[in-house]
Chains A and B, each alone.
Chain A
Amino acid sequence: MKQTPRISFYEASARQRVAGLLDPGSFREILPPTEKRTSPHLGLFDAPVSFDDGVVIGEGTLEGKPVAIFAQEGKFRGGSLGEVHAAKITGLILRAAARKPQAVLGLLDSGGVRLEEANAGEIGSTEIMRAIFEARRVGVPVIGLLGGSCGCFGGASIIAGCCDALVASEEARLSVSGPEVIETVMGVEAFDSRDRALVWRTTGGKNRFLFGKVATLVDDHIPAFRTAASALVRPSTPLRLDSLRTERDALVRRIATFGTCTDAKQIWEKMGLPADRVSDMTAAELTAAKPA
């Protein structure tokens, strides 16, 4: 059987990802680069600016469904959250809460808060989180797509955590502290960030999928992201005490069951998976093998 050529999400730019996810010609960008909304702060550091401040936002359709979308550009300052960057995302999500498209798609590709704008980026991250809760409150789901070259760290990782559902590839890395940060602060014996296999099995999409935080695991192929995201579009369910109790119970159980594990392989073994083979499985193979 002839394979469709792979269109890598990991290697694509933010604009290429948006174009590949949405229906052809449907995307309308808001505050496009011609508006030149650059960072008012980077100049202080003699650092280059970008006319979109490293994030593309707008509206379009996904398999016919109206959606809002934002896509962080990892190639500009690591997709970092600066003042304008974060405000564009907050504005987009609040706009969705008012206009009620069928979903917000969030393509997170970010090392976290932009250090040159640390305070603005941190506050801006939490404005995004409150905007997500507002969108969800009125029934608009926020679906995160992870698989970019910068991963999803720091404030961006918590934004991902606040989403209704996540689609991710194995290449996606999701954690609050990045491996380099843990190594710098705690020492190389705590986390060797140059050990790529260790980084991927700890923070990568497969581990996050097996714990259930990632709803759909896909291979690194933009059309696979598109199909998976479209299938997850459904109205956000209201926050309820019983569902949050259930969520908490599962998180408490996870600590009880896996809290002493120091390597993802130990977790996979406890889950009854062939731990040494997980890293080599395709998304479909791992999905089939995942314990119920």
Chain B
Amino acid sequence: MELSALLDQLFPEGHRVAVDDALVSGEATLGGQTVAVLGTTNHSFIGIREAVALSGKFLDLVEKRPGIPVIMLVDNNGQRMALDEELLVLPEYIAHLLRAQQLARASGSRLVAVVYGNSIAGGFIAFGMLADRVVSVPGAETSVMKLEAIARVTKMPLEKLQDLAKQVSVFAPGCDHFFRMGGLHEIWTDNFSARLQATLASDDTHDTRAALGLERGGRKAARAVIDDVLGA
């Protein structure tokens, strides 16, 4: 959905959010409290410059507003694909951004990612998937790789993949699939503001996704494997 509509529905008490190129940042009021808003828009790619721009915002929050909840608005078309980005070690930039998120979490900030546009592959890892809670709103699209590309690499006919995607959630793009795998904690269709407040009211920051994947039947093996390794 559109960024402005999303902001209005998430924060009916008011928001002060600026869009600078693809970077979204500011504050909003939610249940009488101030929360930080940080994200990207216009299906931006996440490259080295976006990574340090976003990490700088996280570090500023840790310094000036430790413990403030951070609402991460996710809309990206993946990692920026270019030789000169990889030349400067893109994985290091993305990992740095993840460390900045981890520092914010460790400093008491709840991180809630709201996917409202695209969220693809390395871009979604860099910004969204490591939040405490990840939710989607209408118009969101999660994907690792398009079915056409999976067909090319696995040499399976596209029609067979499309049929398989109706039976299992393990590989095909789409929020419903990602939800069944535990990759989205919730799918929101209404009452965004109330739902966000309810999400922030819980202070559980543990990674619960493997348990969710089991409960929802999309990822039946992961939780048991983790437990068996822990208990071996």
Contacts and interface: CB of A to CB of B under 8 A. Distances in A.
Q: Do A and B come from one complex?
A: yes
A94 B230 contact: yes
A115 interface: yes
A151 B96 CA distance: 21
B38 to A, nearest CB: 15
A117 B170 contact: yes
A120 B172 CA distance: 10
Given A90-B226, A92-B229, A117 B171 contact: yes
Interface string A105-146: 000000001011111111111110111010001000000000
B207 A122 contact: no
Contact of B89 (A31, A47, A154, A174): A174
A79 interface: no
Contacts of B221: 37, 40, 83-84, 87
B52 A255 contact: yes
Interface string B214-232: 0000111111011111101
Q: Which residue among B49, B93, B221, B228 has the maximum number of chain A CB atoms within 10 Å of its CB? A: B221
A289 interface: no
A163 to B, nearest CB: 8
Contacts of B222: 83-84, 86-87, 90, 120, 124, 127
A122 B144 contact: yes
Contact of B87 (A86, A119, A186, A207): A207
A177 B96 contact: no
Contacts of A247: 96, 99
Given A119-B169, A120-B222, A30 B83 contact: no
Interface stretch (A11-19, A238-246, A269-277): A238-246
Contacts of B92: 161, 211, 213, 251
Contacts of A251: 48, 51-52, 92-93, 96
Nearest to B103: A239
Interface stretch (A2-10, A222-230, A256-264, A279-287): A256-264
B198 interface: no
A255 B219 CA distance: 40
B50 to A, nearest CB: 11
A242 B199 CA distance: 30
Nearest to A214: B89
B154 A244 contact: no
Given A116-B154, A158-B94, A202-B86, 19 more contacts: A84-B225, A87-B222, A87-B226, A116-B150, A118-B150, A119-B144, A120-B219, A122-B129, A123-B129, A123-B183, A129-B98, A130-B207, A137-B106, A160-B91, A181-B81, A244-B100, A251-B51, A261-B84, A261-B87
| Chain A interface SS verdict (over half) | helix
Nearest to A47: B154
Contacts of B125: 122, 125-126, 129, 155, 158
B98 A162 contact: yes
| Chain B interface SS verdict (over half) | helix
A40 B100 CA distance: 35
Nearest to A111: B153
Contacts of B178: 119, 123
A98 B223 CA distance: 17
A173 B85 CA distance: 14
A135 to B, nearest CB: 12
B136 interface: no
Interface in A201-252: 202-203, 207-208, 211, 213, 239-241, 244-245, 247-248, 251-252
Contacts of B209: 123, 127
A87 B222 CA distance: 5
Interface of A: 30-31, 37, 40-41, 44-45, 47, 57, 83-84, 86-88, 90-92, 94-95, 98, 113, 115-127, 129-131, 133, 137, 154-155, 157-158, 160-162, 174-177, 181-182, 185-186, 190-191, 202-203, 207-208, 211, 213, 239-241, 244-245, 247-248, 251-252, 254-255, 258-259, 261-264, 267
A169 to B, nearest CB: 16
B124 interface: yes
Interface stretch (B3-11, B25-33, B54-62, B186-194): B54-62
15 contacts: A31-B232, A84-B225, A119-B169, A119-B171, A121-B144, A122-B125, A122-B144, A133-B102, A161-B96, A176-B86, A239-B103, A240-B103, A244-B99, A244-B103, A255-B48
A208 B63 CA distance: 30
A176 B225 contact: no
Given A158-B122, A239-B102, A244 B59 contact: yes
A204 to B, nearest CB: 11
A32 B22 CA distance: 47
B135 interface: no
